[in-house]
Chains A and B, each alone.
Chain A
Amino acid sequence: MPPVIDKSKCDGCGVCVNICPEDIFFGSEKKQVPVVAYPEECWHCGSCKLDCKRDAIRLRIPLPAMLCYDTEPLTK
Chain B
Amino acid sequence: MKREVIEADVICVGGGIAGLMAAIRAAELGAKVVVAEKGNTLRSGAGASGNDHFFCYMPDVHGTDMNAAIAEWRATMVGGKVALKKGMAYVRTWFGMSLDIVKLWDSWGIPMTYRGKYEFAGHAFPGHPLMRLKYSGQDQKRVLSKEARKRGAIIRNRLMVFDLLGDGSISGALGIDTREDKLVELRAKSVVLGTGGCIRLYPSPTPGWMSNLEWTFGLTGGGRAMAYRAGAELVDMEMPYRHAGPKYLAGIGKATWVGVLRDPQGKPVSPFVKEPSRQYGDVGADVYQTVFEDYAKSGRGPVYMDCRGISDEDYEYMTYWLEQEGNLALLDHWKDEGIDPRKHRVEFMTYGMTHIGGVYYNDKTETSMQGVYAAGDEFGSGISGAAVYGWVAGENAAGHARTATPPAYGNDLIEDRESLFEDIRSREVGPGWREANVALQQVMQDHAGTVRSESSLNAGLNHLRRLKEKARSTMIARNQHELMRCVEVLDLLDLGELVFLAALERKETRGKHVRPDYPFTNPLLDGKLLTLKRVGNSPVIEWKETSR
**At the interface, yes or no: A1 with Cβ under 8 Å from chain B?**
yes
CB distance from A66 to the nearest CB of B (A): 6
Cβ of B218: which chain A residues have Cβ within 8 Å of it? 21-22, 43
> For the complex, what is the distance from the CA of A22 to the CA of B506, rounded to whole Å?
35
Asked whether any CB of chain A lies closer than 8 Å to the CB of B266, the reply is yes
Query: What does DSSP make chain A's interface, helix, strand, loop or mixed?
Result: loop
B530 to chain A, nearest CB (A): 31
User: Is B333's CB within 8 Å of the partner chain A?
Assistant: yes
Find B217's partner among A37, A41, A59 (CB 8 Å cutoff).
Answer: A41
Knowing A45-B48, A50-B328, A74-B265 are in contact, say whether A67-B337 is a contact too (CB < 8 A). Answer: yes
* B311 to A: closest C-beta gap in Å: 18
Is A20 located at the chain interface by the 8 A CB criterion?
Answer: yes
Are A19's CB and B337's CB within 8 A? no
| Chain B positions within 8 Å of A44 at CB level | 249, 251, 328-329
Q: In the complex, A67→B210 CA distance in Å?
A: 17
Residues of A within 8 A of B49 (CB): 45-47, 50
Tier of interface size on chain B: 35 or more
Task: Give residues 27-65 of A contacting B (CB, 8 Å).
Answer: 27, 37-38, 40-47, 49-51, 58-59, 61-62, 64-65
Helix, strand, loop or mixed for chain B's interface?
loop
Contacts of A68 in B (CB 8 A): 247-248, 302, 346-347
Contacts of A19 in B (CB 8 A): 39-40, 42-43
* Nearest Cβ on chain B to A34's Cβ, whole angstroms: 14
Taking a contact as CB atoms under 8 Å apart, the answer to whether A61 and B217 are in contact is: no
Cross-chain contact B333 with A50 (CB below 8 angstroms): no
Q: Which of A18, A27, A46 contacts B328 (CB 8 A)?
A: A46
In the bound complex, what is the Cα–Cα distance between A46 and B323 (angstroms)?
10
Cα–Cα, bound, A37→B250 (Å): 22
B300, CB-defined interface residue at 8 Å = no
Distance of A45 Cα from B247 Cα, bound (Å): 17
Say which residue of B39, B330, B345 sits within 8 Å of A21 (CB atoms).
Answer: B39
* CB-CB nearest in chain A for B347: A68
Q: Are B262 and A23 in contact (CB under 8 A)?
A: no
A59-B344 contact given A1-B211, A21-B39, A50-B138, CB 8 Å threshold: no
Cβ contacts under 8 Å, B345 to chain A = 69-72, 74
Is there contact, CB below 8 Å, between A40 and B336? no
Residues of B with C-beta under 8 A to A18 = 40, 42
Q: Which residues of A contact B329 (CB under 8 A)?
A: 1, 44-46, 59, 61
Q: Does A75 contact B (CB under 8 A)?
A: yes
> Looking at the complex, which one of B48, B206, B212, B344 makes contact with A69 (CB distance below 8 Å)?
B344
Report how far A44 CA is from B45 CA in the complex, Å: 13
CB nearest neighbor in A for B334: A67
Partner of A23, one of B39, B216, B304: B39
B34-55 interface with A by 8 A CB criterion:
39-40, 42-45, 48-49
Q: Are B206 and A64 in contact (CB under 8 A)?
A: yes
Partner of A43, one of B158, B207, B213, B264: B213
- Verify B48–A64 contact, CB threshold 8 A: no
Residue of B nearest to A50 (CB): B49
Interface mask (B342-375 → A, CB under 8 Å = 1, otherwise 0): 0111110000000000000000000000000000
Quote the shortest CB–CB distance from B323 to chain A (angstroms): 9
What is the CB-to-nearest-CB distance from B484 to chain A, in angstroms, rounded to a whole number? Answer: 8
Closest to A18 in B: B40
CB contacts (< 8 Å) of A65 on chain B: these are 206, 209, 212, 248-250
Q: Which 5 A-B pairs have the closest CB atoms?
A: A74-B266, A46-B328, A44-B329, A47-B43, A21-B39
Known: A40-B211, A67-B347, A70-B345. 12 other contacts (CB 8 A): A21-B40, A23-B481, A23-B484, A43-B216, A44-B249, A45-B251, A51-B43, A64-B212, A65-B206, A72-B264, A74-B262, A74-B308
18 A–B contacts from the bound complex (CB under 8 Å): A1-B212, A1-B329, A21-B43, A26-B479, A26-B481, A40-B210, A43-B216, A43-B217, A43-B218, A44-B249, A45-B43, A46-B328, A59-B332, A61-B332, A67-B249, A67-B347, A68-B302, A70-B344
